[in-house]
Amino acid sequence: MNVIIVGASGYSGAELAKLVVAHPKLTLAGLFVSEQSLDKGKLLSDLYPQYVGVIDVPLQPLTSDAMSYIQQQADYVCLCTEHKVSVDLAPLFLDMGKKVFDLSGGFRLANNQDYQTYYGFTHENEALLNQAAYGLAEWNSDAIEKAQLVAVAGCYPTAALNALKPLVNAGLVSEQKIIINAVSGVSGAGRKANISTGFCEVSLKPYGLFNHRHSPEIERYLGHKVLFTPHLGNFPRGILETIYVDLKPGVTEQQVNDAYQCLADQPLIRLLGNKIPSINGVVNQAFVDIGWQQQGQSLIVMSAIDNLLKGAAGQALQCINISMGLSAAYTLVGAHHE
């Protein structure tokens, strides 16, 4: 399949380009950026020197000629663009008959009101929200395989949902809000220059209290209320979430352990039991590491991912694999992505 990446100069786009190039059943058919981008005309390897001799592919502006090329050449279009840009571009590629994998938040939420509240814009293609399959690979493969538009799950929600859905689905969780304390590396903020994410400015601190856009995404696909607080960490990549769950009275450790067995055969999920996951355990890997410890009705669940791999490009590739009828983890298991 021929894959086009739009927004390829960002961290997730570049990561996805690397994965596509390494995939024996995919061809990287083009990398595109906006017509206004300062990166247009450069090689991806000019921006990311680790790709010299590997991905010496030009970043082309998304002109009308580029759109014609995509219509003729592409099978899959991956959008690594800002949320509003994805909302505008996705219908154009869908009308061409392309399957679209959107790595932004443009199609993850339920309605326009959510987008006004959490993203700050009016969603011009609300009808597509019902058509988009949520790209949480381990949990929604049938819908991903059939859909023309896949809304690849967010990074924080990927860590949270894989850690919590087994418990909620097994009916083990009380009605109390689940508290999610999450920390992400600076690459999660994107590549654009911003003083708050500059090397000398970054300090561990919370942000988006009570109103972060991943809160409604987690609640929608978990079916349970959460109190989600993200933090910016002073490290490049990775996410670690510490999650506080109030269990129903009488829930045993065995019941909790049994609930997680629904993920035991998933090749990119590593169930650590009472061991504590870490950022170092998942950086440059496509895994979700999940650990948990229980004391009475209190359960602490810990979940770690690489935000650019399992939290973005790796999960997009899982969705592509599913669409092709391959194992979701094809080319991802055991691979170390420097």
pLDDT tens digits, residue range 119-171? 999 998 889 999 999 999 999 999 999 999 999 999 999 999 999 999 999 99
Dist CA 297 CA 115 (whole Å): 36
Residue-level pLDDT at 187: 87
φ/ψ of residue 195, rounded to 5:
-60, -30
Q: Using only the alpha carbons of the chain, give its radius of gyration.
A: 19
Partners of 188 in the beta sheet?
none
Q: Strand 178-184 and strand 226-232: pairing? A: parallel
Instruction: Give the pair of three-digit tokens for residue 34.
Output: 């906006």
Q: Which of 329, 313, 326 is nearest to 80 (CA)?
A: 313
Residue-level pLDDT at 194: 76
Q: Strand 149-152 and strand 288-295: pairing? A: unpaired
Average pLDDT over residues 101-120: 95
Residue 4 has pLDDT above 70, yes or no: yes
Helix (H, G, I), strand (E, B) or coil at 273: strand
**Burial of 271 by CB count in 10 Å (0-12 exposed, 13-18 middle, 19+ buried)?**
middle
* Identity of residue 197: T
Residue-level pLDDT at 86: 97
Instruction: Give pTM, 2 decimals.
Output: 0.95
- pLDDT of 279-319, one tens digit each? 999 999 999 999 999 999 999 999 999 999 999 999 999 99
Label residue 252 by pLDDT band (50, 70, 90).
very high
**Which DSSP category does 132 fall into?**
P
CB atoms within 10 A of CB 214: 23
Dist CA 7 CA 62 (whole Å): 9
Dist CA 8 CA 304 (whole Å): 25
Handedness of CA 285, 54, 191, 234 (dihedral sign): positive
Residue-level pLDDT at 70: 97
Instruction: Give the pair of three-digit tokens for residue 266.
Output: 């998933």
In the chain, what is the greatest distance between 2 CA atoms, to the nearest angstrom? 64
**Which of 78, 155, 200, 319 is labelled catalytic?**
155
φ/ψ of residue 184, rounded to 5:
-125, 150
Residue-level pLDDT at 327: 95
CA distances from 250 to 169, 191, 246, 297, 312 (A): 17, 47, 11, 7, 38
Average pLDDT over residues 74-95: 97
CA distances from 79 to 83, 107, 143, 167, 261 (A): 9, 12, 19, 32, 34
Q: Which of 269, 81, 77, 232 is nearest to 158 (CA)?
A: 269
Instruction: Give the pair of three-digit tokens for residue 327.
Output: 């194992």
Average pLDDT over residues 242-259: 98
Dist CA 259 CA 273 (whole Å): 12
φ/ψ of residue 164, rounded to 5:
-110, -30
φ/ψ of residue 264, rounded to 5:
-60, -30
Residue-level pLDDT at 250: 97
With beta carbons less than 8 A apart as the criterion, state whether 18 and 55 touch: yes
The H or E element that residue 94 is part of is helix 83-95
CB atoms within 10 A of CB 280: 10
* All domains in the chain, ordered by first residue: 2-131 (3.40.50.720), 155-306 (3.30.360.10)
Residue 330 has pLDDT above 70, yes or no: yes
Dist CA 126 CA 79 (whole Å): 18
Average pLDDT over residues 8-26: 97
Annotation marks residue 78 as catalytic: no
